[in-house]
Amino acid sequence: DVKVTQSSRYLVKRTGEKVFLECVQDMDHENMFWYRQDPGLGLRLIYFSYDVKMKEKGDIPEGYSVSREKKERFSLILESASTNQTSMYLCASSSPGQGTFSYNEQFFGPGTRLTVL
């Protein structure tokens, strides 16, 4: 049974704190992703990684950084948390596609509800 786990389900932090969100997958997937979900905005990609130590910016990378030192672990870092980073954070992983007209689905973790006060 495939599994993506996230370190916390709920997190409350203060403005200015450094926040670490951890994600671990047990499927040996090359690709890993961090999204945030906000009402009316859907899932927005923050960062993704297609290999160890490789990372690329998504659509909303400002205020975030990531780390991928091992294949199974992808960390999202909020360098200095702000109230507008209060959100649901979702991690996902997938294996590479097989080319055009094919796709390997992303598997998601349960999410971390982060509140920044």
Nearest distance from residue 103's CB to other proteins, in Å?
4
42 in Cβ contact with 88 (< 8 Å): no
Closest listed residue to residue 5, CA positions, set 116, 114, 107: 107
114 in Cβ contact with 86 (< 8 Å): yes
Give the binding site for other proteins (CB under 8 A).
Answer: 4, 9, 30-31, 33, 35, 40-45, 48, 50, 56, 58, 90, 92, 94-97, 99-111, 113
3-state secondary structure 46-110: EEEEEECCEEEECCCCCCEEEEEEECCEEEEEECCCCHHHCEEEEEEEECCCCCCCCCCCCEECC
